[in-house]
Amino acid sequence: MASTKRDRLIDTALELFNRDGYRATGIDKILAEAGVAKMTLYNHFGSKDELILAALKRRDARWRDWLRHAVARRAETPHGRLLAVFDALEEWFAQADFQGCMFMRAASEYCGCDHPIHAVAAEHQRLLLAELRDLAAAAGAKRPAKLAREILLLVLGAIVATQVNGPVDAGKAAKKAAEVLIEEALAAPEVGDAA
C-alpha cells in the first residue's frame, strides 16, 4: 500500500510537472491530485526537490524505454534505427500531452550545474547520448561518439522547435539532416580513435 501511494505521488507529480512546470506546481496541488496526505509525502520524500528527482528518474527510465521500443518497431538495422529515432520523435510530438522535454525544462528552472535536479537532467542527456553512440557504432560509423553528439543536437533541436512552434515537422527536417550526417560518418576514412 505504501509503495502504491509513493507511485501515485510520483506519477501525479510527473503529470503536473509536465503540464505546469516544476516551480509553478505546489505540493498542495500534487497532494490533492494524488489523494494523499502531506505526511505520506514526507514519509517518502524529504522535500519537493526529492519528489522532483524521483519523478525525473522515473520519466528518464520510461522515456528511454519507450524510445528504444518505438525505434525497434520501425527498423531492424542499426543504420535504420538511427533514422527511426526521428520517426519516433514525430510520434511523440503528435501526442496530446506533448509539452516538450521535461529534462530541458528542469535544467532551465534549476540552472546551477551543481543542483541535483540539474544533474539528473544532464544525466538523462548523457544516457541518451550513450544509446545513440551504441547505435552509431553498430551502424559502422568510424567516429560513433562524434555522430552521436551530432544526432543528439538534432534530436534536441527538433524537440525545442516543436515545443516552441507546435507541429512543424521538426522531426522530419532533423531526419533529413541526420541522413547526411550518417552517410558522411559511414563513408569517413578510418581514424585512430572512436571519438
CA atoms within 13 A on the CB side of 40: 19
Q: What pLDDT digit, counting tens, does each position of 100-122 carry?
A: 999 999 999 998 888 999 999 99
What ranges do the domains of the chain cover? 55-187
pTM given for the model: 0.90
Q: Looking at the predicted structure, is the pLDDT value of residue 192 above 70?
A: no
CA distance 58 to 7: 10
Per mean pLDDT, which range of 62-71, 148-157, 162-171, 183-192 is the poorest?
183-192
pLDDT of residue 190: 61
Across the chain, mean pLDDT equals 93
Domain spanning 55-187: CATH 3.40.50.10140: no
- Mean pLDDT over 41-53 rounds to 94
Q: What pLDDT digit, counting tens, does each position of 69-88 carry?
A: 999 999 999 999 999 999 99
